[in-house]
Amino acid sequence: MDNAAFRKNAHELADWMADYLDGMEKYPVKPTIRPGDIKQLLPQEAPPSGESFTEIFSDFQKIIIPGMTHWQHPQFFAYFPTGASEPSILAEMLTATLGAQCMIWQTSPAAEELEERMMEWLREMKGLPSHFTGVIQDSSSSSTLVAMLTAREKKTNFAINARGFSKLDKFRIYTSTQAHSSVDKAVKIAGFGIDNLVKVAVDTDFAMETDALENAIQQDIASGYVPLCVVATIGTTSSTAIDPIEKIGLICKKYGCWLHIDASYAGTALLLPEMRWMGEGTELADSYVFNPHKWMFTNFDCSAYFVADKASLIKTFSILPEYLKTPEDQLVNNYRDWGIPLGRRFRALKLWFVIRTYGISGLQEKIREHLAFANWLKNRIALHPSFEIMAPVPLNLVCFRWKPTGIEEEAQLDKLNQQLLERLNASGKILLTQTRLNDRYVIRFVAGQTHTRLEHVMKGWQIITNEAQELAKSLS
Ligand SMILES: *Cc1c(COP(=O)(O)O)cnc(C)c1O
């Protein structure tokens, strides 16, 4: 593709992109296709010779688009949202155009220094402790793994990096029963063994029971284990429950445990002064992660990871082969030493574009709107005779279930709610996901998409009540 063709194609794509964002509602949120449908439309062999952009782009529209789940659809209420916004998309275009590898300062000085500044901005915007230093990781999963590896090395004076595990290393990791599966994954990868992950009980709000945590730690010490790390969550995936950070932090200090805070989704709400209570005690933490790529209108991937002790992080991950040595090594941040991959995308650029375009007040306004949407929905559900709220709603996730009058049996309610969810999702008008709370099947409704407005939430609620009515009719 020569430069003239690139220019022409880029203009055409820009038009398509703007039309897509503007006309999203004409698409079903989730396609009605079966496994294998798309693959079957793709030739078995790669093309022997080059094809025209017109053909490729036409296939994108014909084959790919009908097979996509439209995450930016304003009636996508499933999972947690994945961030995107116009300024973020534009920055991603520039990042791709620069095609830079941002592993060390020398390979992209502006990218490194912009990342430093963006992490400082985020720390201040969220009221995080001033002794925290930030770095962008690809995901929360990686960040949590990085936290555990650093905790492991700091505790053993970097012995496991040097010599591997010894028979004497009997570490325990603690998290609540509601923690994200990435904690389990990190425990496995870091070599602790999943049997050494202690799942601490939660209270009626699904937040970690600190007495149960302390009991577990004391019992483990008595049995010869070393309590290494506690992962606390601000905003669990099932119900956005908030662990009591300050109490957990004090227990961690008492027993010499690393405290890692997983605020992957809910961390964005700390932009609001009225939500800062969630983070009280964060100054006791050793590490903290939140994903601008979830609720802060920034495209995947962009996970903001903060640490109290930057030196231990770097000592855990640093490598310095001859071919990577540079004269500035002592003066700058070489982010290859702050995480797992060597190569890194230029991810700070989209944060810069997003934060500058919205401004702090613009971001706050959108987050407040999302909280108000959830509050509106929560009140509707609470007032409805055949629906019930299944968990507290501190943020913008509402956990509820359908409970038609006369039906009391739990197993039957589980089945009915599963049927209702399947019908709703098959309609293509709305997308929701489920979870289990107190072993009951629960429907999750997250109002956090960039382009979701109150009217979409209202429409969503209408679709849910209509579909429940239809289902009830078919049962009687
Ligand atoms: C989404 C989520 C994760 C995983 O985030 P990735 O960036 O996809 O790895 C971890 N913890 C919580 C609480 C989450 O909501």
Taken in order of first residue, the domains within the chain and their CATH numbers are 31-67 (no CATH), 100-345 (3.40.640.10), 361-475 (3.90.1150.10)
pLDDT higher than threshold 80 for residue 324: no
Task: Tell whether ligand 1 has an atom less than 6 A from the beta carbon of residue 239.
Answer: no
Q: What is the pLDDT of residue 328?
A: 79
**417 CA distance to ligand 1 centroid (A)?**
25
Q: Which residue type, as a one-letter code, is found at position 97?
A: T
β partners of residue 397: 446
**Ligand 1 binding pocket mutation candidate from 208, 262, 347 (most atoms within 8 A of CB):** 262
pLDDT higher than threshold 80 for residue 329: no
In this prediction, residue 343 has a pLDDT band, given cuts at 50, 70 and 90, of: very high
* pLDDT-above-70 percentage for the chain: 100
Region 69-93 average pLDDT: 97
Q: What is the pLDDT of residue 233?
A: 98
Distance of CA 174 to the CA centre of its chain: 20
Task: Tell whether ligand 1 has an atom less than 6 A from the beta carbon of residue 378.
Answer: no
Task: Tell whether ligand 1 has an atom less than 6 A from the beta carbon of residue 291.
Answer: yes
Q: What is the pLDDT of residue 403?
A: 96
d(CA 55, CA 39): 18
**Ligand 1 binding pocket mutation candidate from 138, 141, 240 (most atoms within 8 A of CB):** 141
Task: Tell whether ligand 1 has an atom less than 6 A from the beta carbon of residue 140.
Answer: yes
β partners of residue 304: 136, 290
d(CA 125, CA 273): 10
**92 CA distance to ligand 1 centroid (A)?**
22
Residue nearest to atom 5 of ligand 1 (CA): 140
264-273 pLDDT tens trace: 999 999 999 9
pLDDT higher than threshold 80 for residue 168: no
Cα atoms in the 13 Å half-sphere on the side-chain side of 179: 30
**243 CA distance to ligand 1 centroid (A)?**
16
**293 CA distance to ligand 1 centroid (A)?**
10
Closest C-alpha to 91, from 294, 346, 335, 451? 346
Task: Tell whether ligand 1 has an atom less than 6 A from the beta carbon of residue 156.
Answer: no
**261 CA distance to ligand 1 centroid (A)?**
12
In this prediction, residue 326 has a pLDDT band, given cuts at 50, 70 and 90, of: confident
**Is residue 402 left, alpha or beta, with left meaning phi > 0 and alpha meaning psi from -120 to 50?**
beta
Q: What is the pLDDT of residue 322?
A: 79
Residue nearest to atom 4 of ligand 1 (CA): 140
**141 CA distance to ligand 1 centroid (A)?**
6
- Six-digit token string for 109: 């000085």
- Which residues contact residue 355 at a Cβ distance below 8 angstroms, ignoring those fewer than 6 apart? 118, 121, 125, 363
In this prediction, residue 3 has a pLDDT band, given cuts at 50, 70 and 90, of: very high
- Which residues contact residue 191 at a Cβ distance below 8 angstroms, ignoring those fewer than 6 apart? 152, 160, 165
Q: What is the pLDDT of residue 327?
A: 81
Q: Would the CA dihedral through 98, 103, 108, 113 be positive or negative?
A: positive
Task: Tell whether ligand 1 has an atom less than 6 A from the beta carbon of residue 262.
Answer: yes
Q: What is the pLDDT of residue 409?
A: 95
- Longest Cα–Cα distance of the chain, Å, equals 78
388-427 pLDDT tens trace: 999 999 999 999 999 998 899 999 999 999 999 999 999 9
**183 CA distance to ligand 1 centroid (A)?**
9
- Phi, psi dihedrals of residue 217, rounded to the nearest 5°: -65, -45
d(CA 63, CA 76): 21
346-366 pLDDT tens trace: 999 999 999 999 999 999 999
Q: What is the pLDDT of residue 169?
A: 82
d(CA 375, CA 459): 15
**DSSP type of residue 177:** T
What mean pLDDT value characterizes the chain?
96
**167 CA distance to ligand 1 centroid (A)?**
32
- Give the end-to-end CA distance of the chain in Å, rounded to a whole number: 63
**18 CA distance to ligand 1 centroid (A)?**
29
